[in-house]
Amino acid sequence: MAAPLNYTQPSTEAESFQTDTKDEYKTRSTSPFPIPECRYHPAFCFSPSIFEDIPTITLCSTQGTLYAVPMHTLRTTSEFFATMFTLPSAAPLGILDVYEPDILLEPLLRIICGLSTPAWDSFEPTGISELFFLADRWAMPSALETLRPILSAPWFLGQNPLRAYALSVHFDWTPEIQLASSHTLDTDLLSPTAAEAEIIGTLAGPAFLALLRLHRTRLAMFRARLNSPERFLAGNSSPFFCSACARTPLDNSSWRALKARLIRCLEEEPSGEALGIYGEAVVGGMHSWPETKACWDARCVKADCGAKNYDQYGTIRQIKTCFEGLPSIVQVDWIPGLVPPVEVEQEQV
């Protein structure tokens, strides 16, 4: 994206036109703020002959960069400008101060004018949010639809899941809300960082409670499944006798300790990655816990038996099953007023 200041104009005619317009700006401006030096952006600088054929308005950024945009383009892409152009005016519109910085104004005008846009991953996350909100303030639905895929982009979701969720909620975009919610599972909602807390503060109560509900539902379901006698017969049945000698009731204290550790781990890190249930190479996973070792080493206390209390690989497989069935997205009915996505019926061939 070209730098917004110190532009080199493409022609002498354009330079002359720029100088004349700059003088006009200085004489007609009544702004109490210091007047910056005005220069046309090269992508939005037209020669006077074009201005005679196409009604054009010039927008001025806070840095003093001028953007000549056809009025028809603004009228058809922005309800805000369409309404403004219908209002009575004592004098024709010349240069319009929009009090927006170049970093927001330029990409938005590029979108509505059909020009090439910058790489969105080069923007700061706050800049992405402000760009969405500027398009919203100016009522530019087509620009919002152009920006919308950013919220589903891996580079944005991976680093800014809460921001993606907040923006999706603001615009009632259900698919993006659900996708972003699945990426918030790494976030501790009750002990957020300063940046996360700032974003959470912008969320409406129901939207934040929906995230909390997702995290707590996962934990409650995981706990219930680990405590199920149908899933873990030997560990959760009382009493359960040794499968080898059929005489000695098992001491399930090691299994209870492992369950407590698993539940605590998911509570601290709702995504479940810290559980490490998909490989022994995971650092800090359950395969390295002392509770896990104690569970696999537990044996029947009968002197002439000594059989293992639990099937290690069968138990791990069942723990994986318990985890894999947990919900990973917020449900539409958890956020009052949210419009469910429209399902398109496919024609039968």
Give the global pTM.
0.78
- Judge whether 278 lies within some domain: yes
Domain count, the chain: 1
- Judge whether 194 lies within some domain: no
- Judge whether 313 lies within some domain: yes
Give the pLDDT score at 57.
Answer: 87
Give the pLDDT score at 283.
Answer: 58
- Judge whether 270 lies within some domain: yes
- Judge whether 23 lies within some domain: no
pLDDT tens-digit series, residues 274-300: 888 876 545 568 988 999 999 999 888
- Judge whether 226 lies within some domain: yes
Low-confidence ranges of the chain (pLDDT < 70): 1-38, 46-53, 90-93, 279-284, 339-349
3-state secondary structure the chain: CCCCCCCCCCCHHHHHHHHHHHHHHHHHCCCCCCCCCCEECHHHCCCHHHHHHCCEEEEECCCCEEEEEEHHHHHHHCHHHHHHCCCCCCCCCCEEECCCCHHHHHHHHHHHCCCCCCCHHHCCHHHHHHHHHHHHHCCCHHHHHHHHHHHHCHHHHHHCHHHHHHHHHHCCCHHHHHHHHHHHHHCCCCCCCHHHHHHHCCCCHHHHHHHHHHHHHHHHHHHHHHCCCCCCHHHHCCCCECCCCCCCECCCHHHHHHHHHHHHHHHHCCCCHHHCCCCCCCCCCHHHCHHHHHHHHCECCCCCCCCECCCHHHHHHHHHHHHHCCCCCCCHHHCCCCCCCCCCCCCCC
pLDDT tens-digit series, residues 57-93: 889 999 999 998 988 999 999 999 999 888 887 556 6
- Judge whether 144 lies within some domain: no
Query: Which range of residues forms the domain containing residue 236?
Result: 210-324
- Judge whether 103 lies within some domain: no
Give the pLDDT score at 224.
Answer: 96
Give the pLDDT score at 35.
Answer: 44
